[in-house]
């Protein structure tokens, strides 16, 4: 299977706390929003939070 070409995204690898995996999967299913989009939103919120703190 060929690897998809990403034009507007960069691939990175991370891990998630065990207790967050199932709720995250359920949120994605319930909202019908991909996990990638949910992660984008969460990271944008974190960046705004820390930007406003001058960090």
In-domain check, residue 2 = no
In-domain check, residue 13 = no
Residue pair 24/16 in contact by the 8 Å Cβ criterion: yes
Predicted confidence at residue 17, as pLDDT, reads: 98
Which structural domain range is residue 37 located in?
19-52
In-domain check, residue 41 = yes
pLDDT band for 52, please (50, 70, 90 cuts): confident
Token pair for residue 1? 């299977």
In-domain check, residue 6 = no
Task: Tell me the per-residue pLDDT of 6-50, one tens digit each, with 9 for 90 and over.
Answer: 899 999 899 999 999 999 999 999 999 999 999 999 999 999 999
In-domain check, residue 14 = no
How far is Cα 16 from Cα 21, in angstroms, rounded to an integer? Answer: 7
In-domain check, residue 7 = no
Predicted confidence at residue 50, as pLDDT, reads: 93
Task: Tell me the per-residue pLDDT of 38-49, one tens digit each, with 9 for 90 and over.
Answer: 999 999 999 999
Q: Closest Cα to residue 11, out of 31, 33, 39?
A: 39
**Cα 3 vs. chain centroid, distance in angstroms?**
20
In-domain check, residue 9 = no
Number of domains in the chain: 1
């Amino acid at each position: 299977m060929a690897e998809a070409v990403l034009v507007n995204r960069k691939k990175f690898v991370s891990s998630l706390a065990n207790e967050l995996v199932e709720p995250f999967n359920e949120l994605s299913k319930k909202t019908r929003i991909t996990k990638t989009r949910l992660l984008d939103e969460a990271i944008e919120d974190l960046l705004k939070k820390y930007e406003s703190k001058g960090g």
